[in-house]
Structures are given as structure tokens and as C-alpha cells.
Structure 1
């Protein structure tokens, strides 16, 4: 029910002039505000900030000087991300217990509500309860995985466990559900709710239903037991991928085409070479070995799961179907999709089959080219080999010195500069480097950027942890450590009555909304990547990014800008807290901006000479992407569509059938035989069981379609909104997208967002086709297609 969904804070100096209303509400108790001067948006200052932004990422010496305290006095120790509690490991426990006390007070208030006014406050009270849980859980979960100090890791883990356990208690507190039912039943209450309050209340009701809190005690306990069992078997499935055969042995001479160094590493004394069937080696064999029979055997072995792993999957699906039946749904997909844009498994299937059709032509073109290269029937174990052959041929004929030096125009600092300039031109916000206080960041490499708007108002904090280091997780990610929301005058008064030095947002970023004169907690975000640090050998050479790394950074910043601009009144619908199948739209769309010529013109400069990326180099990059996309992009897209179809088929089996067992191998082959453009031949098909390696079936059960769904929408918005005018970096288009999509967070139906940004005159939105969603809207999105660049799994 109140599970945390999010992924932070301080006060602008301008806000100090507007404090009187809040101090009055708090009986004149002073608030703890950080000394943040208003941003200077004059041209010289703005230009200086822009230059500083590049240098703090590109120059180690500049960063060292910038990050040193400018005052000779010893600065006061700050808590992590300015949280006033987190100045020591013990602070995590204090933070958790203080938050827990506030949670308990809210729960008591909700449970004793009896008047109309008290029921009217219910949606905001429960949203604040969720916020208090998320404050601890999200921040602690992040710090325990990112911080190098084991004492802090342990303390953060304890804080996380305490609040997570309490959250599970709330999920079995039937009185919360009963009170929300009472509120919904009273028109005097619901008519008084704002749109945001009603949406949050509806989300909570759905969460209650999905957690079976409305069931009788015996059935509710069965639900809890099933949930725990699903968690265990799902974890076992995700971590237990294993082939039926650990290796396939060949004569080393039959592996011609494979790197001789690799052959020598796996070869045994009798010239036998056992090829493992998991990991990178079988992929290299399929890509490089000339002997088709070797490739066929490796293909077969590497796509056949162990019976133990298949049993885990089928047990997971059976228990999920039982959980859905217990909650009143036909199947697990119905249960999972009820609050998504898709709504039903039938709609998802409509989207995916429509997408298969729109992608079919490009797939046939790619396969025909590969078949002509082979000069006979192409088989599934041939695809990687001939794709690699074509890529090599293309690279040898096309690869130019221009492309080889492209990363020299993408220093990390210039790319960050480009993001700030792009946001400024599209949305009127920019990134301003800010000195951190001692103890504010979890590592000295972390840079803090404040986001300010055109009026100089501070609207968000972004902590950038972008450089690799030992033990740091390499996957790029965006984390919202604290969501945006309004802080009520009652909260401020409550905070002041407890401790005059306390801050209603724990010392983290706040600002006063000048339109409503309401104190707001600002989104605090962490961006994590794994780029190499700038060289410190006197060369001055900064971190240089590949084109793919640039796209990755733009992708994660797409999530961040959703958090930054999606500042809703309630945190449950703030920023990225939206439907799962809508959450990737801003990040996928940002990838299109990364290498668009007009955006490259904003920032791509040679790290040493300052020379801009030439038009011919931009054209070479575009030709390179197009060529690679035409070689394998459509087939890669089809493989993702097929995986989404398998996911949907598994989770759409009704309980009455699932209880007797689901033959996942048969279902997998039915989907691939019916939809694949390169099906397995009859002598292979019964022997493969690749689904055992599809670990995302656990984490993305019934929602694996989401990424390609958002990509189809992002491509449409890119073409029809940003490329339809004179320029892709167009303020009118940016404002339209911001106002119709980003600013709502999860506070507006995703279909309304898509329909709004495309506009009534768009042919795809004729007769309001998109506004209500449904089967036809899902088919329409499928017709938009995915482009030809392919998707990395």
C-alpha cells in the first residue's frame, strides 16, 4: 500500500524574504535555512556558471580548487545531502526513529478521523505518511549501496530495515483502508479534494486492493505468505540462470575465426576445446566461428536451460497466478496492468502485434541482405555471424579518421554544458555548480549542481557521481532521493514545537512558491555513472565520452528533468512517480536530442582547441548510426517485441489453468513460431528452452513491453513535435512538452499527456483516439514503430 515509489533540499535566499507566513504558523519559530544566494541570470554571470560547469568535470586542478572551502573559518559539518541528521553513522538511526514517530502520529490521526474535515485531510495525510517512509527508505537504500564507509553502510541498512518493516506493518493495518473507504463514500469529502488529492487517494485504494488488505484475515495471511514465496522463488530464478549443459567440446581446429588467444585459453592438452555455454565466449563463437555446425551446436546448448531453472520459472508463474486470483483478478497480468496506461493484457498484445507488423518490412530487408551474404537459407545461429561480417565490411570501407576522433569533441564537461544549455533553451532552467559543505557528499568526486529557473529561483539539487572507482556499481542510474511536494503550515508548526533547530525538510532543499506562498521541498537527485576520471598526468586531457556514453548520460538526465519539472503538490505523483509504462518516455526522448545536429552545435567542442564539431563529422556520425541500424536494428527490435510477447503470454494464463502447471517451453515456442521472422527449424525447436535465461520475467512480470512502448511514443513526439518546426531546439516545442507531459509527474493520465503534446490536429489523435487509451490507442502506438537503431537488452 504505502510502498515507496521514489527515487532532495535547501532554501533559496529569496525565500528568506517570504518566510513570515510560515513563521506565523510556527509561532514565530525560526526555520533552518541554508545560505543560498539568488542566482544571477545576467549574461556575464550566466556565462561564468556555464564555463565553471565544464571545468569542474574536465579539470582536476580546477575541481580541487573549486571544492575547497573559500572561507578561512572552519566550516560547519553538514549531513549527507544536507540532511541535518546524517552527520555520523548514528544519525541514520536517529533519522529513522524520528521519522517513525512522525509516521505513528499520522497513522493515529488517520485512524481516529471522524469529522468531514478530518476525512478531507486524509489524502494529504497518507501522502505525507508515504513521504516520511520514502525519506528514509530511498535515501538509506541509496547510501548503503554507494558509500565506501562500512559503518555508514551498516547504519543506513539498519535505518532502511526499520522503516521497511514498519511499512509492512502498515500494509496489514486494515483501519487505514477502512478509513479511506469511508472518505470515498462521502461526497462532502471527495468534492472538496483537489485533482491531485483524488489521484493520490485512488492510487492508494488500488494499492490496498493489490495488497489484499480488504480480504478476511485467513486469506490476507495467505496473500502475505504467497508474496514472500514469490519473492524467494523469483530471486532464485533471477540469480539461477544455468544451461542444461555447462559446455560443448570441439576440436580446436574447428574454431577457426575465433580469436587465437581465446582458443589457446580454453584449449586442453589433447587439442580439445570445451566452449562454455554461458557468458561471453558462446556469443563470440556465434559471432566469429566459420564452421556452421559449431555455431549450431553452441546456439542449441546456450539456449537450453536446465530443468531446475525451468521449474523455478513455472513455480513463479503459478504462485503469481494464485496471488492474482486471491486479489480478485483473472490473472497476474490483469492485476499488474490495472493501473498502467495499457490497462489489460489484451491491449498490450494489440500494441505488440501491431508493432510486429510495422517492423516486419525492415526485418525482411535485413534478413535478405544477410541471406544474400550466406548464399543459402539463413538460420538463427547464422544471424550474429553474418551481422558481424557486414559490420566489419562496413567499418573497413567507411570508418574514417573523423569518426575515430569524435570522442575528443565529447569531454564530460562539454556534454554537461550541453545539457544545461539545452534545458535553458527548451525549458528555461539551467545547471549551476555549487560548492558543497563538508560531509555533504558521499565521496569527494561528487559534484553538486543546483537547478535554477529564469527568475533565479532554486528549484532542484542534482548530485553527480559520474566517475568510476573500486567497488562502485558500474550501471548508470538516476535516483530521486527526495521528491517535490508542498509542506503545510501545520507541519512547520509541528516541527517548531518539537525542536526549534529542526527543519521541516530535515535541512534539505526547500523554497517558497511565489504564486501560492507555499513552502516546498525540492527534488534532490543523484546521477550515477561509471566514466573514467580525467587524467592527472599534466596533459590536461579530460574524460572523453563515446557517442554511446553521451546517449547514456542524456538518457539518465531525461529521468532527472522529469523529477525537476514534475513538481506536484503531493509526493506520491511527483516526477518519475508515474505509471511504469510511462516512466521511460522522458529519458528515451532525451536520447534523440543527444546527437541531433542543432544540439551538437550547442556544445560539441574539441577539448583542447575549442573547435566545434564540423558538419561533415555530424553527417558521418549520422551515416554510421543509420548504416548499423540497417544491418541489425529491426531484428534487434523484433527480438525485444518477442520477449515482451512471451512475458505477456506467461502472465495472462488464468489461475484455473496455471494451478495445473504452465508448460513455459511450449508457450515460448508458440510465440516465436507464430511471430518470429527467423524461426528455429523443426529439428531444433523442441530442444531449446531459452526462457530460463530471461531473468527480467521476475522484475518486469507483465510489464516488459514498457520500454519499447515508451520508445514508440518518444519517436512520435520527436518527429511530430520537435522536428516539425524550424528547429529541434525550439522553446515553443519545449514549453509544449513541459506543460503537457513533464510538469504533471504522475498527476495526469499518460494518454492525456500524449494526446496533449501531439495536439488535436495530429492525424494519430483524430477524433480523440488517444485521450481515453484502450485497445485502438495501443494499436495506434504500435503503428508508429521503433525506428531502426535497435534496442540493447
Structure 2
């Protein structure tokens, strides 16, 4: 349950809550951190799989991408048709569904993954390579050997991630339970090896020796230094250098934190589960909803439910709204005990690893660096947002005055959503239904529009490619090759965008394999030992997945999956404007991975600081609402008439009507997150409810929750985003600033200007996590004030909210 009502915020929070695990700064390859716990898989009887290996005829292999044919215009037309026309898609994909036309090439063209047994072979092959790398690092003794440690550890990261990232995706997505189980086993195999690495203190010692020698570090690239520093921080966080007894306590605490965090998210419950009213007191609420909870004239409303939220937004009787609000905002005592226990154990873990607080532990490798810097940002942001928030609160008070015939009744906490909903309803056009914009946004035209936008900004386009037999996990998956004007084939994008039974409804971006430069010695190594399933050593070096030599050296291309849950119809899949924004958001993550040009995978694409990772995706939401961008593609799916932009303006005006109070709510939650992850939970008198009410009292323009409520028990992000909840606010401010400064707010066609696109690409996107994000920000904005980061830079960023 969130404290925010706007559709845009709800969508962003949903994305954050269900965010892909590898979409951050090397999430999975923080192998130097003791993993909190490995969640055991569902117990199943081990299945017997065929051990037969399928050898692939070279004639049946996919042909390399030809940039000259059939051509960009043909690809663009095809792009729209494969998403909009079921008949066209059936014909386009027919040969990939016919097994007789060729051997199974393997999932994602990974030659191991032709059947369930292949996952074991895939994991074992990469595990053996990883063990050889560990041995090499531990036995390094000469300067030459120490010079390669950063790259060696990055390759170790790649060996682990290429199995874990892909297996994690497959076990959650593939429809075949045998494949799911096999992927889980491969995933588990690599996690077990990482737990062995967690006890290998020699890795930390060897990295320390290399970093302490100026002659060695002088030979490192900027990327190598960033990777080395990141891994060293991970060592520090993991307590690996501390005495054995402390390390063992660290592991116990980490396991307890994981278990409590899981229980906190899964066991959210209100103190009072339901309230009963006469159905007549629910006047104003959707009659169908009222009927669904009414028996014999009495309505029983679950207090922590969508029905309760709908009632708070629509029921005219203030006493009903009050009772539901209080119940909806009051957690069970058991849930509050879980939260207090979680915060206390995190504070203990931080002290154990010699950090001042959990916030200091969590933020050391983020842009913010410290809780003090986060609070500087939030304070400056709050100050800039206050005038707008106050104006909106006054507007709500005026609405209540009119609604209550000028009785001077004060605005109450349970009034906010009711009067916001009333005003938004009055702003919507009475002549159109809520989905009137959808007719202009067929999925095919939106994908076509994204390709046109990226062509104009970055010189890349989407080229539809027929999947080879065995390559995709579902017949509805579309493969797009990303083609650059200068570098040819630069990425593979699998689009699984249509709704089907059993599929997760949450939109997500997954990097199945990161971009990375493959060293010639790796190719030579593969030439000696590669399996017969590969046609060449180069193919074996990347398990058969996409590579390119367009830039001279061999590169493994980023392989990305986009998951959405768009409804289909007999004619076309028509998207709401919010779904268009969602697709643009997820494509922002993808473009970060696609345009990253790092040589090391640990810092490729979205593997950057967590509080920088959402910048490209939030920025893409600006493009989704820009008239010049929409004019590239938004046309009525039947009449082909262009979209009248005033319809979008109306939708945006409704969505943004109370952005001030919604931003204020998010600021308060971010402040609460920082307060909970301070040293305070170590005090025996710590009371999370009291802290929540005190922060509201100090910073809220809206009336605060009454005493006795305890909403913090429903703040699920405290588990997964401990001390980093500010990140969405932070990246939203950064994106707003870049949109205004670099793309001139979309004025005079700046939103599709190549020079401005190149500025964004060369200053930010190409670096992934391989350059200090403050330097990237300073370069793209031309603002030296933020180049060195720190509290002052965080305050400057906070002040941009008012300036924009």
C-alpha cells in the first residue's frame, strides 16, 4: 500500500517493486558480499532428462545480419506488421515453429540450451572456466599478472552472471516445468560456487596488493579502476577481512534479515481486517463494487484492499471515508514488530562491519555516498516543492468548502484522495471514454515510433528477425536486431509483450547477457577446448550467442528481454497512454544496455549506481509525451489520421494536477527510509510509529495521519530498497533537468535532434557504470557544480526542482 495516488507514481513504484534483479550496479556479481539467503526452490521429484546432445548442421545455423538488405524501410514496415497483424506474424514466424526445418538452435541461440539437460552442461562449462580464473588470481605474483586482476575478476563476474542472469529469467518465464527446474538447478549451482568465493579471502588480499601498487594501477583503464574499486567496496561490506567469528555472525545476521524482510513483505496485514456499513452509506461508490461486498443490505469492506481505496476516493459520507482511512493506515502489531526487528538487525549488521549505520553501508557506492547527502537533496527538494504543494492543498480545502456549503470544515487526511478524484473527474472530457487515446497507439505503431526516435537520436534502428527453431520460449516472442549506422549489429532484443494466462503482469527489462569485449586469449582458449556443438572458437567464447567484430575486437552483444502484459484483440493490441509511457520507460533501460560501449561487463549498460540506473528510463517518459516524438508514429489504427495532441495534453493535465502533494508524499517516505536506516533502531526506545508521525509533522503540508495509525507497516520498499528509496525522486529530477537543458523541453524539434542525442549518448549512455556518474551528469549538462558529487552537489540537484 502506498501513500501516493497518482497513476504515474503508481506505475513507477510498481516497476521499482518488481524490478529485474540484474538491473543495477552488478547486482548478481556482488559475489564478495555474503548472500543473505538463497531462497530454496519448490521441492520436486528430480526428473530424468535425455542426455543426448544435439549437434547442429552448419547449413541450418542463422545467417549473420546483412545491413544492406532488405533495408531500413522494409524493416520499418515489417516492424509494425509483426506486432499489429496476427496473420502477418503467423506467416513471418512459420518456419521457426516447424521443427523439421532445422535443428534446435537453443534458447537465445545458446548452443547448450537445446533441452533441459543442457542447463547443467551450460552451468558446468562456465563453472570450470570460473574456477580457472579464481586459480589464476590467487596465484598471481608478478606485476604483469597483477595488472590483469581487474579484468580477470570482471571475466569471473561474466562467467557467473551469464549463467545466473539467464537462468533466473528462464525459471520465471519459460512455460515448460522441466526447463524451469533445470534453470533453477543451474542457478543454484552458480550460487553455491559464489558462497565458496565468499570464504576465499585470498581474492580480497590479491586485489588489495594490486591496488596498492601505483605502477600497476597506472596501467589500468578508467573502467578497470572503477571495477577494482567497486569490488573492494564489496569486500568491505561482506566482512570478509574481519575475524572468522565476526564473519560467521555476519552470515547469521544476513540470513535473519533476509527472512524477516521476506516475512515483512509477504505478511502485511491491517490491525482490523474489515469494516461493516449499511450499503446506503456507500453512496458515490461504483454500484457494481458496492454490490460485490453487500449481503442483505450490509456491506463488508476489506480494509486493506482495492475496494477500500475505491471507497476512500468516492464515498460521499465523510465518516465512512474516515473509518476506512484509519483502518487502512493501521498495521497489525505483529507487522510493526517485524519492521522494528528488521531495522534493528540491519543497524547491527552495519556496526558489525564497522559502518556508522546501515545507510552508510548501503550508500557508499551510490551517487549520494552518505545519508547526510541524501538528506541534503531531500531538504532542498522539499523546499522547492513547498509552494506548489501548498497551492494544491489550498485548492483541496476550497473544494471541501464548496462541498460542505462553506461550513469551514478543515481538510482531513481522509479527504485528500476524495477531493483529488473529484477534481480529476471534472477535468476529463465528458465526450470521450477513458480509452479514447488507445486508438492512436497500436503496439506496432509504438514500436515503429521507438525505432524512428532512436534512429534520429542515436543512429540505431530495430530490424525484425525471424527466430530460429528453439530460440524463443514462446511463439509470441518477437526478436529484433538492433542495427547501428556505424557499428552494424549491436544488440539482440526479445520482445514478449502480449498477455497470456499465467504470465506476470509486471513490466520488466532483463539483461540476459551483458555487452563485453572478448579478449583474443579467450578465443584461443576456446579453440583448444570448445565442444563440437560450436562451429568456431569465436562462437564457443560466447556460448553461441550474438557477437560482433565491427569495432575491430570481438564483442559479446547485449541480449535483452522486454516483458509486458498488453491485451490483444482481433484487430490489434491498442495501448492506453499509460501503457505507452510504460513501454517507453522499459525501452529506456534497454537503450542504456544497447548503447553501452564498455569493455568490461561489470560496468556495462544498467550496471551502474542504483541512484543513476533509472535516469534513462525516466527520461524516456518525457519523449513519450512530446508532440514532435508522437508525430513520428501516433496515428489512428483504422483511419490513419494523426493524433490530435490536445488529447494528450488533456491526459497530462489530469495526471499532473496534484504533482506537488504527490512529490511531497514521496519526499516524506524517502526521509522515513533514511531515519529508519540510521543508528536510531539500536536505541531501546526506538518506535517506528513515533518516527513516522514526527517526520509527517515536520514536513507535511497535508494533514498528518492521526495518532494510533501506523502506515509504515505497509511500506514494502523498506525491505528491498533499504536506504535508497530516494532514488526515483533523484532520477526524476535528473531526467527533468536533462530534458530541459539538453533537449530544450522538446521545443523546436529538439527532442529528435541528432546532435542532442549524441550528447546524451557520448556523455551518459555509452559509459554504463564505467565512469563516475557525477562526471557524466556534469558533462551532459555542462554544469561544473556537480562534477565532484558530495553533499553540495546533492543540494544543487535538489534545488533544480524549483528551477524547473
2:217 aligned partner? 190
Whether contact under 8 Å (2:487, 2:550) holds in the other structure is no
Map of 1:129 onto structure 2: 156
1:588 to 618, 626, 636: 618
Structure 1 residue aligned with 2:333, among 304, 307, 320?
Answer: 307
Residue of structure 2 equivalent to 1:453: 484
Asked if the contact 2:60–2:102 (Cα under 8 Å) also holds between the matched residues in 1, the reply is: no
Q: Residue 622 of structure 1: CA displacement?
A: 1.1
SS at match of 1:341: coil
Counterpart of 1:428 in structure 2 is 459
8 Å contact kept, 2:437–2:647 = no
Post-superposition offset of 1:686: 2.1
**Conserved 8 A contact 2:26-2:607:** no
Q: Which of 66, 90, 98 is the equivalent residue of 1:64?
A: 90
Give the deviation of 1:73 after TM superposition. Answer: 7.4
CA contact (8 A) 1:33 1:507 kept: no
Distance apart, 1:362 and its partner CA = 1.4
Structure 2 equivalent of residue 485 of structure 1:
516
Return the offset for 1:267. Answer: 2.8
> Displacement of 1:574 after TM fit?
0.1
Contact 2:157 2:602 survives alignment (8 Å): yes
Q: Does residue 359 of the first structure (1) align with residue 375 of the second (2)? A: no
Instruction: Map 1:503-514 to 2 at 5 A.
Output: 503-514=540-551
- Choose which of 607, 629, 633 in structure 2 pairs with 1:577: 607
Structure 2 residue 774 is the aligned partner of structure 1 residue 744 = no
Task: Work out the CA distance in 2 between the residues paired with 1:729 and 1:403.
Answer: 29
Check 1:786–1:223 CA distance in 2 against 1; reply closer, same or farther (3 A cut).
farther
Q: Secondary structure at the match of 1:569?
A: coil
Q: Distance in 2 between matches of 1:753 and 1:50?
A: 33
For normalisation by structure 2, the TM-score amounts to: 0.89
Aligned to 2:28: 4
Q: Which residue of 2 aligns with 1:543?
A: 573
Where does 1:121-200 land on structure 2 (aligned, <5 Å)? 121-200=148-227
Aligned partners of 1:355 and 1:785 also within 8 Å: yes
The answer as to whether partners of 1:286 and 1:295 remain within 8 angstroms in 2 is yes
Residues 697-728 of structure 1: per-residue CA shift (max 9 Å, x gap):
00000000001100000001001111266322
Kept in 2: contact 1:559–1:587 (CA 8 A): yes
Give the Å deviation of 1:499: 2.3
Work out the CA distance in 1 between the residues paired with 2:114 and 2:372: 52
Confirm or deny that 1:690 pairs with 2:706: no
Q: Is the 8 A contact 1:403 1:620 kept in 2?
A: no
CA distances 1:527-575 after superposition (whole Å, capped 9, x unpaired): 000011342xxxxx11111111100000000000000001210000000
Of 422, 433, 451, the match for 1:389: 422
Query: Helix, strand or coil for the counterpart of 2:562?
Result: strand
Aligned to 2:667: 641
Shift of 1:121: 1.0
Structure 2 unmatched ranges of 5 or more: 1-24, 31-57, 402-408, 535-539
User: Is the counterpart of residue 226 in structure 1 residue 287 in structure 2?
Assistant: no
1:499 aligns with 2:507: no
Alpha carbons 1:418, 1:602 under 8 Å: kept: yes
Other-structure match for 1:19: none
Equivalent pair of 1:373/1:386 in contact (CA under 8 Å): yes
CA–CA distance in 2 between the matches of 1:134 and 1:199? Answer: 18
Counting only pairs closer than 5 Å after superposition, residues 195-344 of structure 1 correspond to structure 2 as 195-269=222-296, 271-344=297-370
User: d(CA) in 1 for partners of 2:264 and 2:735?
Assistant: 32
Between the aligned partners of 1:744 and 1:695, the Cα distance in structure 2 is 32
- Residue 788 of structure 2, aligned match among 743, 764, 772: 772
Range with greater deviation from structure 2 (281-290 or 421-430): 281-290
Give runs of aligned pairs for residues 696-707 of structure 1, distance below 5 A: 696-707=717-728
1:93 equivalent in alignment to 2:124: no
Shift of 1:752: 0.8
Which residue is 2:627 aligned to?
Answer: 597
Distance 1:35 1:629 in 2: 48
Q: Does 1:679 align with 2:679?
A: no
SS at match of 1:625: helix
Question: Which residue of 2 is the match for residue 25 of structure 1?
Answer: none
Report the counterpart of residue 716 of structure 1 in structure 2: 737
Equivalenced residue count is 738
Give the alignment's TM-score, normalised by structure 1. Answer: 0.90
Contact 2:137 2:149 in 1 (8 A): yes
CA drift at 1:353 = 1.5
1:782 maps to what in 2? 798
Matched residue, 2:778: 755
CA contact (8 A) 2:67 2:488 kept: no
- Aligned residues of 1:566 and 1:744 also touching (Cα < 8 A): yes
User: Residues 658-678 of structure 1: CA distance to partner in whole angstroms, max 9, x if unpaired?
Assistant: 153631001111111100111
Kindly tell me: are residues 661 and 200 of structure 1, through their superposed partners in 2, closer, same or farther at Cα, counting changes over 3 Å?
Answer: farther
Q: Name the counterpart of 2:72.
A: 46
| Conserved? CA contact 1:430–1:453, under 8 Å | yes
Contact 1:257 1:290 in 2 (8 A): yes
CA contact (8 A) 1:3 1:167 kept: no
CA distance in 2, matches of 1:733, 1:175: 47
